[in-house]
Amino acid sequence: MIKQIDSLRVDTLVYELDEFITKEEIIIIDEGIEFMLSEIDKVNLMICINAKGESFGAFIKEFQVGMKYWNKINKIAYVADKKHWKTLVALDNLFTKFKEKYFDIDDMDNAWKWFKED
């Protein structure tokens, strides 16, 4: 299940993903990015993950969205309480132009600070 959350920044979309991440949820994020880019040049994402995993279709769609917005995504902060996401984010970051970083759920303030850097 996906839920969009109010953001503290005008250039940042915030989503919460629960249960099991699906392709349809990634499509919703894609549409949010598309809308945001009609108003600004670059977008940040904060993805709060409380999911056990994701479908293969979601994984493929994430890759497609990353390629589609290769030069339009600035940073993606992944916030979760399960350490396996930290490893997955670190691996994924090797293959993207934009910056991705994992934050523990109790470290969300630092995720917001990270968006201000650069």
- Each residue's pLDDT tens digit, 12-24: 999 999 989 999 9
Tens-place pLDDT, residues 63-91: 899 899 999 999 999 999 877 677 776 66
The pLDDT score that the predictor gives to residue 76 is 93
- The pLDDT mean for the chain works out to 90
Collapsing DSSP to helix, strand or coil, 55 comes out as coil
Tokens matching residue 80: 């979760």
Identify the structural domains of the chain with CATH numbers, from first to last. 2-113 (3.30.750.24)
Distance CA 74, CA 22 (A): 23
Distance CA 7, CA 33 (A): 13
Distance CA 55, CA 21 (A): 6
Distance CA 8, CA 22 (A): 26
